[in-house]
Amino acid sequence: MTLFEKVIEIYREFYICLHCLGRMFSLLGTDTTNYDRGKSLLLAMTMENHRVYLSRNESHEDAISNLEILAEKARFNPAQSVLHKEGIRHDIITSTEKCHLCNDIFNNVPTYAKIAIKNLANLEFKNILIGTALASQIVNREDSFKAEFNLLDSESFKNHFNREVGKELSSILEKPPEFSNPDITVIYTLDFATSEVNLVIRSLFIKGRYNKFVRGIPQTHWDCRACRGKGCKSCDFTGKQYQTSVEELINPEFVKEAKAESSKFHGAGREDIDVRMLGKGRPFVLELKNPKIRTLDLEKIQ
């Protein structure tokens, strides 16, 4: 079966959008988009069938049938124009039927980008990545479709969505994509009718050294041994075994400046509570989780 014959077979049974038509043959041809691939495919088929129709050979009637499928089932305007020009009557399609594979999601990429932009407001980041979690209904329908028509050169729904929404967001926000270590990953949870957006914000890591000039201060927070942090008479209801720690002295200002949700102190090695830390100090790394601000004035904080 030729490529053109397979497309006709698809449209006899289902309506799919140009994005999905193109991605069903995404591995064929390069340096183009799935939308342009799908449109070019239908245009080439329209031209070939128009040529066959004009030749008046034995395939004349097949060409008319194919043009009618392209005009009516694929809703392709150039095919409709050819039939009109040649005086061939065909049904005028006013159907609101949506794409069988994506439910017209790919025709509404800007809408999905706007949803993410609202969630990204007031966040500082230099780059971005898009991820998708698909409902089983979408995955199962596409798998069945590919199996029915033996489509072996396709691109997945997820890859196409991630790329197209990513391009739209990068253009609007003027932020490049980053595939290995993005500042923010936008995760879309999709089914045919609804969508939800969640953000995965990469932690901000601050490397430094600290000195401890007095004894009796632990490196990290300790819960009260008696109540395990719940608060009791033994700890004066603070929930803490010791009044403060190096972690509690360093972390709060960074959390405040980065507008982070929380933090984690990573000291280089263990340190007894009754020792001091002099000289160049002990190295540490401070992890700021879900920061809204990533560019900090470290001298000011120090």
Q: What is the pLDDT of residue 244?
A: 74
Residue 165 near residue 113, CB atoms below 8 Å? yes
The DSSP 8-state label assigned to residue 122 in this structure reads T
Full set of structural domains in the chain with CATH: 3-85 (no CATH), 105-201 (3.30.2130.30), 204-301 (3.30.70.2510)
Residue 2 near residue 30, CB atoms below 8 Å? no
d(CA 70, CA 122): 47
Residue 64's contacts (CB-CB under 8 Å, 6 or more residues apart) are 53, 88
Q: What is the pLDDT of residue 274?
A: 66
Local structure of 10: helix, strand or coil: helix
Residue 267's contacts (CB-CB under 8 Å, 6 or more residues apart) are 219, 220, 246, 247, 282, 283, 284
Residue 210 near residue 246, CB atoms below 8 Å? yes
Ordered strands of the 262-267 beta sheet: 204-212, 277-289, 262-267
The DSSP 8-state label assigned to residue 73 in this structure reads I
Known catalytic membership, residue 272? yes
Give the residue among 276, 296, 280 at the shortest CA–CA distance from 288. Answer: 296
CA atoms within 13 A on the CB side of 272: 3
Name the strand (E) or helix (H) holding 97. none
Cβ-based neighbour number of residue 115 at 10 Å: 15
CA 41 centroid distance within chain: 28
Local structure of 168: helix, strand or coil: helix
Give the residue among 85, 84, 177 at the shortest CA–CA distance from 128. Answer: 177
Residue 53 near residue 64, CB atoms below 8 Å? yes
Residue 153's contacts (CB-CB under 8 Å, 6 or more residues apart) are 24, 25, 26, 27, 28
Which one of the listed residues 183, 223, 272, 274 is annotated catalytic?
Answer: 272
User: Residue-wise pLDDT tens for the chain (302 aa)?
Assistant: 899 999 999 999 999 999 999 999 999 999 999 999 999 999 999 999 999 999 988 888 999 999 999 999 999 999 999 999 999 887 766 678 899 999 999 999 999 999 999 999 999 999 999 999 999 999 999 999 999 999 999 999 999 999 999 999 999 999 999 999 999 999 999 999 899 999 999 999 999 887 777 786 777 776 777 677 777 777 677 767 767 777 888 888 999 999 999 999 887 777 766 666 677 877 889 999 999 999 998 888 77
